[in-house]
Amino acid sequence: MNYFVFVIIFSSMLVANSINIAVSSNMSFVINELKNSFLKQHKDIKIRTTVSSSGKLYATILKGADYDIFVSADTIYPQALFDKNITTHKPKPYATGKLVLFSQKQIKFDKAINHLLDKDVNRIAIANPATAPYGKASLEVLKNTKLYDKVKDKLVYGSSISQTVLYAINSTDMAIINKSAIYTNIFKKYKYNLNYIDIDSSFYTPIKQSAVQINDKESTRLFFDFLFSKEAKALLSKFGYNSL
């Protein structure tokens, strides 16, 4: 066989046996467990993930980034890709995310979301509403509770929900973050009703998260189907999501 023909065939086999996944930042805490569970059944497949805000990932896909699957924090961005004929199928919801109010310092949380008005709260982290669905939901919370105008000068915006989580544990007084972060090792020392509480879901539009296939490769289809399996749903529930 011609050497160059062999290289082309071998390279094609590698591509066919790999998956390049664009993953929204809120899923950064669970994606590795999903990958490991999937790879127990498909040891010959290589998986690469790129984690960022959904809006930024959407923009890179529009510019031609070579992803096979887009796991978003909402449905709007995947639907927009489908409407532009960039994906092979319609987006499919896989989970609903939740918000929590977090404080490094222990407090009673007897005032719920209104603790954002406490005198010692000078910096409040939320994700950027322009690119992060969790940031958009956080802004809804502040506006629906009539707090936005009172705290807008204290807001510190993370470029993604992952960066917002880093702000929450390192540099701000309080933060509105994704509940899934609470189930990771870095939050083990923090306690419910002392360091964080659930934010009333009536204050924000349900964060329905969807994934979409960008091509019909067999490896793409296998992981996409796995995302909706019992194993995947159990992992999503473990991290505080309502699996769909």
CA Rg, the chain, in Å?
20
What's the chain's average pLDDT?
Answer: 93
- Predicted confidence band of residue 90 (pLDDT cuts 50, 70, 90): very high
Average pLDDT over residues 18-22: 97
Query: Which two structure tokens, joined as six digits, stand for 123?
Result: 């910096």
Task: Name all domains of the chain by residue range, CATH numbers in brackets.
Answer: 3-96+208-243 (3.40.190.10), 98-203 (3.40.190.10)
Closest CA to 215 of 78, 93, 68: 68
| pLDDT given for residue 16 in this prediction | 61
Residue 12 pLDDT exceeds 60: no
- The answer to whether 18 and 48 have CB atoms below 8 angstroms apart is yes
Average pLDDT over residues 70-82: 98
Give the tens place of pLDDT for each residue, 144-194.
Answer: 999 999 999 999 999 999 999 999 999 999 999 999 999 999 999 999 999
Q: pTM for this structure?
A: 0.89
- 1-15, 24-38, 86-100 — which is least confidently predicted? 1-15
- Predicted confidence band of residue 6 (pLDDT cuts 50, 70, 90): very low
Q: What is the 3-state secondary structure (H, E, C) of the chain?
A: CCHHHHHHHHHHHHHHCEEEEEEEHHHHHCHHHHHHHHHHHCCCCEEEEEEECHHHHHHHHHCCCCCCEEECCCCHHHHHHHHCCCCCCCCEEEEEECEEEEECCCCCCCCHHHHHHCCCCCCEEEECCCCCHHHHHHHHHHHHCCCHHHHHHHEEEECCHHHHHHHHHHCCCEEEEEHHHHHCHHHCCCCECCCEEECCHHHCCCEEEEEEECCCCHHHHHHHHHCCCHHHHHHHHHCCCEEC
CA distance 135 to 141: 10
| pLDDT given for residue 71 in this prediction | 98
Residue 206 pLDDT exceeds 60: yes
39 by Cβ neighbours in 10 Å (0-12 / 13-18 / 19+) ranks as middle
Give the tens place of pLDDT for each residue, 93-114.
Answer: 999 999 999 999 999 999 999 9
Instruction: Give the percent of the chain with pLDDT over 70.
Output: 93
Give the tens place of pLDDT for each residue, 196-205.
Answer: 999 999 999 9
Residue 7 pLDDT exceeds 70: no
